[in-house]
Structure 1
Amino acid sequence: MTSDDLIGSLEEAVAASPDDVALRAHLAELLLLAGRRSDVVPHAAHLLHLDPRSAAGRALMLQALDETESASTPPAPAMPSDQPGSGFDWRAAEDELGGLLPPMFAGSSPERSEVGAHDVESAGITLADVGGMEGVKKRLNAAFLAPMRNERLRTMYRKSLRGGLLLYGPPGCGKTYIARALAGELQARFMAVSLADILDMWVGNSERNVHELFETARANAPSVLFLDEVDAIGHKRSRMSSDVMRNTVNQLLLELDSVSDSNDGVFVLAATNHPWDVDAALRRPGRFDRTILVLPPDLEARATIWQMCLRDRPVSGIDVRRLAKLTDGFTGADIAHLCDSAAELALMDAVETGVPRMIGQADVEAALKEVRPSVGPWFETARNVAMFANEDGTYDDLLRYLRKHRRL
């Protein structure tokens, strides 16, 4: 068995038993011997995550960061040549196959793929992977999970699975992640759709694209069709000057009615930062008639996000609980930005001193002095809407949050 084969086998074994310390350390040592230093860092970081005092993890990390030793990677094989004597006439082969295969390299201009071939993927996560956010999970359970899993009770209480679910809240709070986790919980296929997947310059194509997206979702049922930034796709028609966009919204309404009336196994979710800009017809019963507010992560969720963002980085002495407390009001995207900023500080220090080092608590807290929560402007707008445009009670959850956090 070659070294690459052994490494491949060990990688499969580590994937099956991620917390096997001896197995992961052995794999990291082989990667070092193969000169693959950058691949060692995530394994050493995981060892230090399991045991911050791990001597093996620290030694492996230091060796991976030590750039003074020359890497032992073999030279890359020479690219095939079309010159005489190379053994193969590449240009002749290209001419022979030119009419059969599309161009594959720089300079080609492939046609826009049809929406009917939109990516349909496995979610890969469940709600158990979402830290905190118990209120959101409870609402999702009542709206989708409990009725779907208990057919007898659903029939008894005449609970319908019709309609869609609208997730709204500040940007960067994990609405897409929650939608993907719900698809995993339902064991359904996941389709994420944005305005770019729908809008087309030719008249009639945008409506056709909407129809084909829903047809793809139905063909792959059970599926979760997730409309990201639905305010852009389904903006208020009264504010539109374009007949094309009005017709696109009309087509979306028709498809939603079709899903609610005659199609099983297609769960339609949407997310927006501006629910007040969504056309009122989309909010009627049978369409997006249920709304869930997704707020900045709570303490437990922030701790989970910190752990995920730091997991594959060379860190030492990080107090995740303290960081979770210091970042009240920060979104998941804000925390990811803090991790990047802390990594930049450590990287620049390594550049200046010539000695790579770990990312420490001091780096993260220094980044905290420079980075502020990004949700302020959103709450300024949302506060006015919740106070003066909440006749139907849609934003009662938002009002309670604003009062609790003294944002009114």
Structure 2
Amino acid sequence: MSEVSPLIQSLRTALEAAPGDVPLRLHLAGLLLDAGHQDAAVTEVAVALQHAPGDGQAKALMTRALGVPSPAEAPPQSQASMPAENGVGSDFNWGAAADQVKDVIPPRFVEAPLTTDGSGDPDDSPAWDVDAPGTVRLADVGGMQEVKDRLEAAFLAPLRNPELRKLYGKSLRGGLLLYGPPGCGKTFVARAVAGELGASFLSVSVNDVLDMWVGNSERNMHDVFETARRQAPCVVFLDELDALGGKRSRTQSSGMRNTVNQLLTELDGINASANEGVFVLAATNVPWDVDIALRRPGRFDRTLLVLPPDAPARETILRYHLRERPIEKVDLGKLVKLTDGLSGADLAHLCESAAETALLDSVRTGDVRMIGMKDLLGAAKQTVPSTEPWFAAARNVAMYANDGGMYDDLVGYLKKRRKL
């Protein structure tokens, strides 16, 4: 093989200054090919095609560099396989060409195309993230003793006593609806239940299920429950149930109504034992917007009101959010009393605001200081309970729509707080 000529070296130097100059690069590729440097010519043509994918001269040079017979040398072909006008035959193996230059040119497409119905991967295999049994237990939930007692009766006691469960005909099927103001730990409680059961945890939101293509939402809902049945014992947590199972009478979309119908079917199971070991928990801020069919016995017939944290829970939450922050002389007892009515999210915001105050003060003065009680009290004074709007709406429901005593717990709480 001949040595690299000064002209070729000069062209390479020129291309370093103008890498996008396609004609110059193709001229260099032609010289390399004439000099017997086939691999180097393929590389240069591949770079040119990256800048100009439809360039006819580049395709012709690639054909020549890869040893494909030219139109004059090629054997007679049928009309269907005649050479194209750009000089590259229709039988040119672009796959082999791409394989030869894969180390030089990255692939133009790295994602698999959608299927014709837009459902995602070509193999259309659903992938639901099922968390292994976690370490969170109900003991990790501060306070909320009434919630724990109800969960014990609804799920945990029957599981721990299989012989008594069989004696009394208690099934492990069923669903529990957690409702209450936002930011009060409904999701955390659901994870704690999964931990107590030693069960897998499958969290599902409206974004996971709803799909723009007709029939895909129902299929997604079915796949969720099929995955849970295979992973049993498994806790399926339906977040924002009002979005997944809203009242069909208020829904204009037939797709949403069909999704609710599919959810009802999955909760019933194909037969009496289909959902054995599948524990369905759901959470909502607006239980009055959930379809009434979801509330009948055997579905979400048990409800649990998750209220703003009580004093022991507030202390636990404050300790958690202050544990890694520099604090001094913090009177948690006083702070707990002043934060009555705040949600868990409000308490987290309070700690964040206090830390921000101390940080900004340190920046202004140039002296780094600890977070003190003054910062926390100031933050508590400025933090308005985010639960108040929810209780304002819930009060009307408790007064005028408490059919069947569903909201008795809420009525009792409102009376205790003198809000009813």
- Interval containing the TM-score (normalised by the shorter chain): 0.7 to 0.9
Match of 2:160 among 121, 132, 149: 149
Q: 1:125 aligns with which of 117, 136, 150?
A: 136
1:191 Cα shift?
1.1
* 8 A contact 1:133–1:301 mirrored in 2: yes
**C-alpha displacement of 1:116:** 2.7
Q: What's the CA shift string for 1:285-334, capped at 9, x where partnerless?
A: 11111100000010000000001111111222222222111111010000
Aligned to 1:174: 185
Asked which structure has the greater CA Rg, the reply is 2
The amino acid across from 1:117 in the alignment is A
What is the distance in 1 between the residues matched to 2:224 and 2:336? 40
Corresponding position: 1:232 with 2:243: yes
Aligned to 1:334: 346
Q: Residue 266 in 1 paired to residue 269 in 2?
A: no
Judge which range, 352-361 or 191-200, deviates more: 352-361
Q: Tell me, in whole angstroms, the C-alpha distance in 1 between the residues paired with 2:319 and 2:219.
A: 43
- C-alpha RMSD of the superposition: 2.4
Match of 1:212 in 2: 223
Q: Structure 2 counterpart of 1:118, which letter?
A: W
TM, length-normalised to structure 2: 0.71
1:252 and 1:97 map into 2 onto residues whose CA distance is: 45
Residues 341-373 of structure 1: per-residue CA shift (max 9 Å, x gap): 101101111111122221111101011121111
Contact in 2 for aligned 1:192/1:226 (Cα 8 Å)? yes
Of stretches 244-253 and 158-167 in structure 1, the one that deviates more from structure 2 is: 158-167
Please say if 1:376 is aligned against 2:388: yes
Contact map agreement 2:172 2:277 (CA 8 A) in 1? no
CA distance in 2 between partners of 1:243 and 1:149 (Å): 42
Amino-acid identity (%): 62
Counterpart in the other structure of 2:408: 396
> CA contact under 8 A between 1:260 and 1:287: conserved in structure 2?
no
Any runs of at least 4 consecutive aligned residues in structure 1 with deviations exceeding 6 A, and if so which? 112-115
Normalising by structure 1, we get a TM-score of 0.73
Q: What are the within-5 Å matches in structure 2 for residues 268-307 of structure 1? A: 268-307=280-319
Whether the 8 Å CA contact 1:260–1:286 is kept in 2: the answer is no
The aligned residue for residue 64 of structure 2 is none
- The answer for the alignment partner of 2:174 in structure 1 is 163
SS of residue paired to 2:404 = coil
Task: Report the AA paired with residue 374 of structure 1.
Answer: S
Q: Is the 8 A contact 1:168 1:292 kept in 2?
A: yes
Deviation at 1:102, TM superposition (A): 4.9
Given residue 206 of structure 1, which amino acid in structure 2 is its aligned partner? Answer: S
CA shift at 1:221, angstroms? 1.3
1 or 2 for the larger relative contact order (CA 8 Å, sep ≥6)?
1
- Structure 2 matches for 1:3-152, cutoff 5 A? 95=104, 98=107, 102=111, 116-122=126-132, 123-152=134-163
Q: Deviations over 1:379-402 (max 9, x none)?
A: 111111111111200000111101
Indicate whether 1:189 and 2:200 are aligned.
Answer: yes
In 1, distance between residues paired with 2:270 and 2:139? 28
Counterpart Cα distance in 1 of 2:278 and 2:150: 19
Deviation at 1:95, TM superposition (A): 5.0
- Whichever residue aligns with residue 240 of structure 1, its letter is T
Query: 1:263 offset after TM fit, Å?
Result: 2.6
- More displaced 10-residue stretch of structure 1: 158-167 or 296-305: 158-167
Q: Give deviations 1:53-79, integer Å, cap 9, x for gaps.
A: xxxxxxxxxxxxxxxxxxxxxxxxxxx
Q: Displacement, 1:93?
A: 6.1
2: CA distance, partners of 1:115 / 1:255: 20
Aligned match of 1:251 in 248, 254, 262?
262
> What residue in structure 1 maps to residue 370 of structure 2?
358
Give the distance between the partners of 1:95 and 1:380, measured in 2 at CA.
65
Which one-letter code corresponds to 2:316 in the other structure? Answer: T
Give the distance between the partners of 2:398 and 2:187, measured in 1 at CA. Answer: 23
2-side partners of 1:240 and 1:363: how far apart? Answer: 48
Structure 1 pair 97/186, CA: closer, same or farther in 2 (3 Å)?
farther
Q: CA deviation at 1:96?
A: 6.9
For residue 157 of structure 1, report the CA deviation from its aligned partner: 2.0
Q: After alignment, is 318-327 or 182-191 more displaced?
A: 318-327
